[in-house]
Structure 1
Amino acid sequence: MQFNEDELNSRPLVDGAIEMMAEIDPEFPAHWVQLKLSQLAQEAEHALMEELDPRLRLEGLLRLFYREWGFQGDHQQYFSSDNVFLDKVLERRKGIPVSLGALFVYLAQHLDLPVESVGFPTQFLLKATWPEGDVQYINPFDGEFVSTHILRSWLIGHRGPFTELKPEYLETQQNHEILVRWLTVMKSALLREEHFTDALRCSDLALLFSPGDPHEIRDRGYIYQQLDCSHAAAMDYSYFIEQCPEDPAADLLKTQVETLFDEPLTLH
């Protein structure tokens, strides 16, 4: 699969996510997800399109999505891959900000609502920009409106007391940038669950977005190591050491590289 950034940015975010997930998991039910999304969009249109005031229509969609349909953030298993893959999110009606937010944006666009994605430093956010010029921010984890005061407090908790809420933190983010962040979360979840083959596909996809990224190649080396591909792991670690010699991890990996190259070559 070739990820074309312009194409990804011109289509709904969920479309790119579905293609990405089908690439990572050969059994991902892409067609079922698309049918389920169409069904939800039709239900939302039937329930809300007669509301002519777009602000009230947005409030109606929030009520429908989070209260009537019961979508919610998963507090118990936040880092589970079930919260990342859209089929599981639709089945369980639980997710994390990026997966819930992507579904909500898809539905909002069907209702002609000006809802867009924001790659806020602490988490994925939604914003509605109204013709009058005012902006509302929504936390997709629970569907609540959040003030800039709350956003500033999130930042302070994340980065320290002297952090400023810069305007660029609240800019609309393009789909390909969101998908890269989503992919990182997906890879972390799969690694935690020791699904190393799927995690390797995540890493390979991430390198389509950022070819030659030494940190991504280092991570891929770790995955190769878990899959007993010692020489491939050593090659990736060596690349990272060469590109980032000052990184503290470089010295630690040098010893591993020597050991890995000493292991017999395994053909998979």
Structure 2
Amino acid sequence: MQALFDEDFDSIELVEGALILNEAINSATQVHWAHEELSRLLKEAELTLVSERHDQSRFDALLRLFYTTWGFQGDKESYFHSSNGFIDQVLERKKGIPVSLGAILLYLGRKLGFRIHGIAFPTQFVLRIDWSDGEHSYLNPFNGEYVTTHTMRAWLVGHDGPLAKISAADLELTDNATVIGRWLALLKSALLREESYALALRCTDLALTFVPDDPYEIRDRGFIYQQLDCHNVALNDYQFFIDQCPEDPAAELLKTQVNLMSRKEVVLH
């Protein structure tokens, strides 16, 4: 956990930071194999692109290799499954979500000399490719298709309503540390849905190393402890949230939960 806390994510590639995060959550993550697989894919890409000269044709050749030859694709059937957030599993299954597929593409693209960047657009992770003529394009890493700002605004309308508009901040390049933080939240949500409470607890503990005493993380930790039958710890976490966020609608619900759990503790003892 301390290694994750001390890591300078912007000094390494996003996919490398994701693997550090993955291993911090689940020690069974195949980190060594994943690095070897990334190196293998890079070598194959270098051989495939060797005859291409124009930067856009080279990049299009990389996309064909990635999505057609290798068969990487967005996981439409199990989009929110935790396997889409663990890089070793994405490499093995050839399925992922925008941020995990995008992280692999970022790694390959930069190693191949492309000026490619990540954008944490409000609806999903997007890539921006800067061409040698000064123009740039946006790419949806979920399917490897170029998208326009008009399309991205449509995503935003679907997300925020008909009055939504793209702001300059929505298209700003995103630092790796920000993406890793969101990646951690994504994995925690997935693991909670899958009732993988021990791993979800690791996510919450990691989040609290970055933002200590975050009442919402502590509330979530209380829920996890409750599922793990650690009721005394859960009660303390719920009470902390109630005290810190008394106006939050969840506080009233948790007061009822705390009362019920407190009665059970009295009966048990």
Cα distance in 1 between the residues matched to 2:233 and 2:127: 40
- Report the CA distance between 1:129 and its aligned residue: 2.0
Structure 2 equivalent of residue 110 of structure 1: 111
Structure 1 equivalent of residue 166 of structure 2: 165
Structure 2 equivalent of residue 61 of structure 1: 62
**Partner-residue secondary structure (3-state), 1:137:** strand
Structure 1 equivalent of residue 218 of structure 2: 217
Alignment of 1:189-268 (within 5 A): 189-264=190-265
Contact 1:233–1:260 (CA under 8 A) maintained in structure 2: no
Structure 1 equivalent of residue 183 of structure 2: 182
**Could you tell which deviates more after superposition, 208-217 or 149-158?**
208-217
Structure 1 equivalent of residue 29 of structure 2: 28
Contact 2:242–2:254 (CA under 8 A) maintained in structure 1: yes
- Report the CA distance between 1:46 and its aligned residue: 1.6
Contact 1:33–1:86 (CA under 8 A) maintained in structure 2: yes
Contact 2:115–2:130 (CA under 8 A) maintained in structure 1: yes
Alignment of 1:70-149 (within 5 A): 70-149=71-150
Quick one: percent identity of the two aligned structures?
51
One-letter amino acid matched to 1:250:
A
- Report the CA distance between 1:60 and its aligned residue: 1.0
> Structure 1 residues 229 and 4 mapped into 2: Cα distance closer, same or farther (>3 Å)?
closer
One-letter amino acid matched to 1:204:
D
> Structure 1 residues 150 and 5 mapped into 2: Cα distance closer, same or farther (>3 Å)?
farther
Cα distance in 2 between the residues matched to 1:54 and 1:213: 45
**Could you tell which deviates more after superposition, 187-196 or 144-153?**
187-196
- Report the CA distance between 1:6 and its aligned residue: 7.0
Contact 1:156–1:162 (CA under 8 A) maintained in structure 2: yes
TM-score by length of 1: 0.94
Structure 2 equivalent of residue 155 of structure 1: 156
Cα distance in 2 between the residues matched to 1:207 and 1:256: 23
Cα-to-partner distance string for 1:8-36 (whole Å, 9 max, x where unaligned): 11100111111111111121111111111
> Structure 1 residues 5 and 26 mapped into 2: Cα distance closer, same or farther (>3 Å)?
closer
Superposition RMSD in Å: 1.6
**Partner-residue secondary structure (3-state), 1:115:** strand
One-letter amino acid matched to 1:139:
N
One-letter amino acid matched to 1:32:
W
**Structure 1 residue 10 and structure 2 residue 17: aligned?**
no
TM-score by length of 2: 0.94
Contact 2:74–2:96 (CA under 8 A) maintained in structure 1: yes
> Structure 1 residues 172 and 198 mapped into 2: Cα distance closer, same or farther (>3 Å)?
same
Cα distance in 1 between the residues matched to 2:50 and 2:173: 25
Contact 1:118–1:127 (CA under 8 A) maintained in structure 2: yes
- Report the CA distance between 1:50 and its aligned residue: 4.1
Cα distance in 2 between the residues matched to 1:30 and 1:147: 35
**Partner-residue secondary structure (3-state), 2:203:** helix
Structure 2 equivalent of residue 19 of structure 1: 20
Q: Structure 2 stretches of 5 or more lacking a match?
A: none
One-letter amino acid matched to 2:137:
Q
One-letter amino acid matched to 2:228:
L
Q: May I ask how many residue pairs the two structures share in their alignment?
A: 265
- Report the CA distance between 1:262 and its aligned residue: 4.5
Cα distance in 1 between the residues matched to 2:168 and 2:199: 36
Cα-to-partner distance string for 1:121-173 (whole Å, 9 max, x where unaligned): 00111111234332210000000000010000000010011111101101111
Cα distance in 1 between the residues matched to 2:116 and 2:241: 40
- Report the CA distance between 1:248 and its aligned residue: 0.2
Contact 1:5–1:176 (CA under 8 A) maintained in structure 2: no
